Structure 1
Amino acid sequence: MSWDRRQRAMLAEMGYRLPAVREAGDAAAVAAAAGAPAEPAPEPEPIVVAAPPPAVLRVAAPVAPPVAAGAPSGFAGLDLPALREAVPACRACGLCEQRRHAVFGVGAAPQAPWLVVTDPPDDADDASGEALGGDAGRLLDRMLLAAGQRRSGADATAFVTPIVKCRPPRGRAPQPAELDACEAVLARQVELLRPRVVLALGLQAARRLTGLAEPLGRLRGRVHAWRDLPVVVTYHPAYLLRSPADKAGAWDDLCLARRTTASP
């Protein structure tokens, strides 16, 4: 697989160790990406990074958590703009009582090959109504770009949304009834956006979408299934900011997601 200079710089920032730079031109590109001065050098031949060998993807048995009988059904016939308008007015669970803003999500439309489902909104997301902003959001954008995806611009290919649309009080984990209520929204987003892969960021999103109460480390490295879609689990960007050594593992997960979308 061949990576351009921008992607090489992004991968280096994520902590993924590329092969050693072998040409003066490559050294200049890395130095420029880091903001350091470099002597001009002739344009090098592209360096090709060997892609991981083809492997049979291990698909976990699909587990679709049932939607509670009391979950809202009024989202079923809505198009994407109408659904976006309906979510802030939703009162299907108690999270609506203390939210400042519901977080619908942002990204590619009307279709998104990658659906990125994150842990619940944090305080900053609740205040702004935007999905995954700040430093964690900027890291996510670099991760997606390194994998050839983006959530903004005319050529956006990813849509980012939280597993529940309102922040649980004091940052606690969402309760089953709250997850059930938001499942109707997420299911309609899937119907409208028609993703080819779901990337679950963080433990709470991963456990809900896989139906497994395992540590995140044990959920990574395999392809799960949710509503007939492949699900790949990885670390939340906020965690990666605290534990940068795991960025290389996150890159492995992104590669798995790429291979999953490339599979027939």
Structure 2
Amino acid sequence: MAGLGTIFLSETVGTAMLLLLGGGVVANNILPKNKGKGTGFLMVNFGWGFAVLAGAIVANRSGGHINPAVTIGLAVQDWVGGGNKFDFVTIMTYFGGQMLGAFLGAVLCWLAYRKQFDLADDPALKLGVFSTGPEDRDYFWNTVTEAIGTFVLVFVIMGAGLIDTTNMGWLNYLGVSLLIVGIGASLGGPTGYAINPARDLGPRIAHAILPIKGKGSSDWAYSWVPVVGPFIGAVLAGLLAPVLL
């Protein structure tokens, strides 16, 4: 496994790329004065899938996790199998890089679409570029949805043997990106499918801090759902994969 400094830098750069492109496809789809306005949710799914591909490729040195749920799922799987690849410091290094990268990627996305943000009147659209939100707000069931979607992500990755915690390679990253598209198309409707705590929390913090014209609330009341739900799903995947796969 790479050193802690390499892990932190690699995950920071990769997650920044993820959020720049992932947030970008949402902005292109929902903000005014965009060539891609109204292209639909399936386009958003594909955009996030390719964002994962790009982010994982540039985070290759750290294994391309770019998602705390993937990291914790792999750690649980490793512990269940009696391994010791993931200690507390290593896990926190992954988490730190992922959170910083998600914040920075969201800031870059805002800069790329600064004019479109200024032209938008609806605060909900602006927040929607940064973070997820449910179509029907029910915290319990929204958490269940996020847990199931993340379980599928981590469990299928483990089942395919796509991550060995060191290096997946770009062809394997392509498989994960297509999995992201599939999860979005099948399970993304209720919550917008964060399935990644850093993907939602880092940009939500950026939304709260940035001087976005007419931005409104950052919806902190919902913010715990796309953090807790994915962690539950990832832990379940890590526990069940050694038994069922």
Do Structure 1 and Structure 2 share a fold, with TM-score over 0.5? no
So what's the TM-score if we normalise by structure 2? 0.27
TM-score by length of 1: 0.25
More strand by share: 1
Structure ID, larger Rg: 1
User: Higher RCO, 1 or 2 (CA under 8 Å, sep at least 6)?
Assistant: 2
Q: Select the structure that is richer in helix.
A: 2
